[in-house]
Amino acid sequence: FFSNKLVSYSEGRDFPNQNAHSMLAPYLSFGQISVRWMYHYLINKSTERQCSLFEKQVNSFIRQLIWREFSYYLLYHYPFTVYKPLNKSFENFPWNNEDELLRAWQKGETGYPFIDAGMRELWQTGFMHNRARMAVASFLVKHLLIPWQEGAKWFMDTLLDADIANNTMGWQWVAGSGADASPYFRIFNPITQGEKFDKNGEYIRRWVPELRDIPNKYIHKPWEAPEHILQKANIKLDDTYPLPVVNHKAARERALCAYKSMKELV
């Protein structure tokens, strides 16, 4: 990674098919390599090269290491956050506990291709690209209103790089209940996330093979494809591939109302 991928890290880390991620997280989680060693190694390499572009990539990677260390700070001082929100006002949040929706998310059968690709990659490999992690987490918490604790448990059970501190901070960030949390009105659009970061659908086609023959125009929204296009691609919606479990616009409005109602109760 340090020799070949780091030079494109900051630009490529958001795109699942650019293979710019380090894949070092499991080794950090199991203690086979330390953050301190990585930090000093990177600083030394940056000094040796004296290249502004390389320094930019190093700084981008180090910021991720700092976030990881911050998660340990939070866990040490607030150990209850593994199970409860740091922001206590979230104890009043009107969560939805529909097991059927949770299972659809876990199996990668939500009907949103980018979300399903991420969840299937996780189940088959024990890894999920960072951009997909943020998208699937936001979808569970804000589109489905499933408690973030359910997502955190699933990630801990399935990720090879599962790390209790990092995992807890990440899920609370998405839910809006943690330290330096994502604003409640920031709701990832499961369609545009795919269009922006997997424009031609390579990631989707790899992990959701039943959509491999659909044209790029419809890869992120197969339900909008004309019937003859679906037939040609051997897709039968609600059979070979599910229809969306929720409507994006309606789910977004429902989430915003839920967050506002919680604020009114405080």
The confidence score (pLDDT) of residue 6 equals 67
Q: Are residues 30 and 119 in the same domain?
A: no
Whether residue 265 is predicted with pLDDT greater than 80 in this model: the reply is: no
Lookup: tokens for 254: 């429902």
Amino acid, res. 197: F
Q: Are residues 125 and 199 in the same domain?
A: yes
Domain edge (last residue) among 77, 108, 129:
77
pLDDT tens digit sequence for 198-216: 999 999 999 999 999 999 9
Distance of CA 120 to the CA centre of its chain: 13
The confidence score (pLDDT) of residue 3 equals 63
Position 1 in a domain: no
1 pLDDT band, cuts 50/70/90, is: low
Q: Are residues 104 and 123 in the same domain?
A: yes
The confidence score (pLDDT) of residue 24 equals 83
**What is the average per-residue pLDDT within 247-254?**
97
Amino acid, res. 206: R
State whether the Cα torsion 250-220-9-73 is positive or negative: positive
Q: Are residues 119 and 141 in the same domain?
A: yes
Domain CATH for 197:
1.10.579.10
Q: Are residues 134 and 209 in the same domain?
A: yes
Q: Whole-angstrom Cα distance, residue 24 to residue 200?
A: 27
The confidence score (pLDDT) of residue 151 equals 98
Total domain count, the chain: 2
Residues belonging to the binding site for FAD are 9, 61, 161-163
User: Could you say which DSSP state residue 241 is in?
Assistant: B
Instruction: Map residue 139 onto helix, strand or coil.
Output: helix
Domain that holds residue 70: 6-77
Q: Are residues 21 and 42 in the same domain?
A: yes
92 pLDDT band, cuts 50/70/90, is: confident
Q: What is the pTM of this model?
A: 0.92
The confidence score (pLDDT) of residue 143 equals 98
Q: Are residues 213 and 124 in the same domain?
A: yes
In the chain, which ranges are continuous DSSP H helix? 9-12, 25-29, 35-49, 52-77, 99-107, 113-125, 130-138, 148-158, 164-175, 190-197, 202-207, 227-232, 248-265
Q: Are residues 197 and 257 in the same domain?
A: yes
Residues belonging to the binding site are 9, 61, 161-163
pLDDT tens digit sequence for 118-164: 999 999 999 999 999 999 999 999 999 999 999 999 999 999 999 99
Q: Are residues 150 and 165 in the same domain?
A: yes
Lookup: tokens for 250: 């309606």
Domain CATH for 54:
1.25.40.80
Q: How many CB atoms lie within 10 A of CB 225?
A: 19
